[in-house]
Amino acid sequence: MAAIVRTGIFYDGSFFARVSDHYRYQHDRAARISIGGFHELVRHEVASNEKVDPTACRLVEAHYFRGRFPAEEAERHDALLRERRFEDVLIRAGITPHFLLMPTARAGNDGAATPPVREKGTDVWLALEAYEIALRRGLDVVVLVTGDSDFLQLVRKLTAIGTRTLLTAWDLERSRTRTAQVLIDAVTYPVMMSDLIDARDRRNDPMIDNLFMSPSSGDQPSEAEAPRVVEPVGVREARVAARAPEAVSAEPLKPSEVASGVINNVIYDKGFGFIRPDWGGENLFFHANDVEGCEFAELHIQDPVRFVVASNPRDGRPQAVRVSPRWPSGNV
């Protein structure tokens, strides 16, 4: 009987969310990644690299790390129920969730909200837990779901104690989500997931198909379906108009032309929003991965922005990409 390959998988939750959102909103698959299907593919990749039968590869540890806002803040963003549902998904998949509480944004003396505090500390927590569990549980292989070069030292430490590392790496140009090359070079088994998924010889592979959840109806969310977003504590609640404003200037721009407008709605927990273009007409969808010059979480309703009009690769509808802030001072 072949020896058991004891495997642990460790998720950088923010990175995994960006990857999953890419396949939901920016890819022909139009669906998020299924954790169950992902684990099955990982198990087979470990078995292939370890040269054992897949039945000998046992996933004995699974951990998910991410920062999140306190319950009151999540409830104000209509995100509390969705967060709990996702926790249920993790638990049913046998994944232990680790959430680091993030401070909430507060209003300044002039009533304007300060930018939300960025997620910090989860990478250190993940690295410490992964190393300790690998050492204590005698893991043969540690699977890392991340793209951050900060985990290079973890990989070196695991290598020093004889634990092999498998990295699920992505190179998603459209979403500007890439795995650091130094991390790819350092691990024992790099697996280029984006290449694997798009390989023409695996287009009808059931294992690749099972990697994705069944897509919901519709190509992209509409504003009517989007949850109401409330500004951070101390900031007056903004009302989001459901109908398009009256035209105020020129004709709509063509794809690839630079345009301007204001943020009409932001759905922080889903990673997308809508822009009211200066020329009026239909509000334009934009994704968090298409924000430049600031963090997605730093955008608020009525913030002036500039962007490039593009066509959605799946349905041809106009959307905004390369979204960047235009500060009230007039700086662009």
Q: Helix or strand or coil: residue 59?
A: strand
pLDDT surpassing 50 at residue 238? no
What pLDDT is recorded for position 183? 97
Answer yes or no: is pLDDT of 200 > 60: yes
**Percentage above 70 pLDDT, the chain:** 78
**Residue with the two structure tokens 């460790």:** 10
Confidence of residue 28 (pLDDT cuts 50, 70, 90): confident
Work out the average pLDDT over 195-205.
91
pLDDT higher than 90, residue 101: no
| pLDDT tens profile 250-259 | 344 555 678 8
b/e sequence 56-89, b meaning 16+ C-beta within 10 Å:
ebebbbbbbbbbbbeeebbebbbbbeebeebeee
Kindly give the interhelix angle for 122-137 and 152-160, rounded to the nearest 10 degrees: 10
pLDDT reported for residue 234: 35
Threshold 0.85, pTM exceeds: no
Query: Domains of the chain by range and CATH?
Result: 5-209 (3.40.50.1010), 258-325 (2.40.50.140)
Average pLDDT of the chain to the nearest whole number = 81
d(Cα 141, Cα 139) in Å, to the nearest integer? 6
The predicted pLDDT at position 221 comes to 39
- Pick from 248, 314, 309, 303: which is nearest to 284 by CA? 309
